[in-house]
Chains A and B, each alone.
Chain A
Amino acid sequence: MTLVSVIGFILIVVGLWGMLTQRNLIKIIIGFSIIDTGIHLLIVSIGFIKGRTAPIIDTTISKIDAVNRVVDPIPSALVLTAIVIGLAVTALMLVYAINLYQRKQSLDINDFEELKW
């Protein structure tokens, strides 16, 4: 349990709370973004090893020594992917919000009842 992973966990819960309680579509999307950020922090914190540095080999970190000097590069690579996907999905959600607003002139989630039963 590290500070970063706890912050990531809190962000996930806060974002989920925001998505469940807020009525405004834009606020729901912000909640999603907060969850996204929390997940990134959590994944990065899993790969972190105390006292080590970024997995880039240069003059200070030789190839032979690298195994004992660098953090786990795989979670970093996963987060790199996740950030870009999160950006694209957020853009798509915002465009849906724009479209819904144009239909009903409202961003309140309660005004969209077509899928309610």
Chain B
Amino acid sequence: MVKRFLIFLVLIFFVIMLLPLISDVQPQTELNSLASKYVEDGPDELGGANLVTSIVVTYRGLDTLGEVAVLFIATAGVGFLLRRRRNSESKTVKKRSSSEILQSGTALLMPLIFLFGVYIFLHGHLTPGGGFQGGVVIASGVLLSLLTYPKSEVSHKILNMIESLSGAFYIVVGILGIYLAAGFLDNRILPLGEFGRLFSAGAIPIIYSLVGLKVGSELVGILDSMQRSDS
């Protein structure tokens, strides 16, 4: 009873604390000064049509690097916590193989899903999307394959190689920005190109492709370790 009362008290406290977030915030009618600077200068300065991408990859590029690092640490934690059981586990449960519909569907859809993921992260500077979304789409393709063939093994060597190489190249592109352009992770190390085309916006497509590969391989690693610890 005391516990319930305390929970109720904590909830009331949080409601009072968070209430200004909805009651005091007036709906904006104009962009604030920082946002209007990004919107006004962004397209000409960085050449990216998608302003959110310009902010995520270049203006706030360091945050994105930190985010990729957090994702990496989480993946490492998942791999570490699920590793031990894999060795001790030896019992194998006999399962019937997946149905014809699932197998044919996977064979048909897997390449399309991969293609779609690559499309999303290559066009991150032009359309809604980007490296993180593309990586998740690629991982969902691998999830489909894991559902169809539960016994199949994803090669960890290749995954680790893709992940570490794309992470390293991300840093290299960032450091190149210091020498060739204005600062760390500046995208103007390559010519900006024609606005709105695929090969434009300097290094943004390259960075987002690297992020996409990294996120995709990390999520595939998470799915694979969860799937293996299951059985």
Measured CB to CB, the residues of A under 8 A from B are: 1-2, 5-6, 8-9, 12-13, 16-17, 20-21, 42, 46-50, 54-58, 63, 66-67, 70, 72-74, 76-77, 80-81, 83-85, 87-89, 91-92, 94-96, 98-99, 102
Contact = CB atoms under 8 A, between A and B. Distances in A.
A50 B215 contact: no
How would you classify the secondary structure of chain B's contact residues: helix, strand, loop or mixed? helix
A66 B43 CA distance: 10
A96 B77 CA distance: 9
Contacts of B136: 87
A56 B128 contact: yes
Contacts of A76: 52
Given A17-B11, A89-B74, A95-B77, A67 B56 contact: no
B132 A80 contact: yes
A13 B52 contact: no
Chain B, interface size category, equals 35 or more
17 contacts: A17-B7, A48-B28, A49-B28, A56-B49, A67-B40, A72-B35, A73-B55, A74-B38, A77-B56, A80-B52, A81-B63, A81-B64, A84-B215, A88-B74, A95-B81, A96-B81, A102-B85
B39 A67 contact: yes
Nearest to B230: A98
Interface in B51-80: 51-52, 55-56, 60, 63-64, 67, 70-71, 74-75, 77-78
B158 interface: no
Interface in B33-55: 34-36, 38-40, 43-44, 49-52, 55
Contacts of B225: 95
Nearest to B127: A56
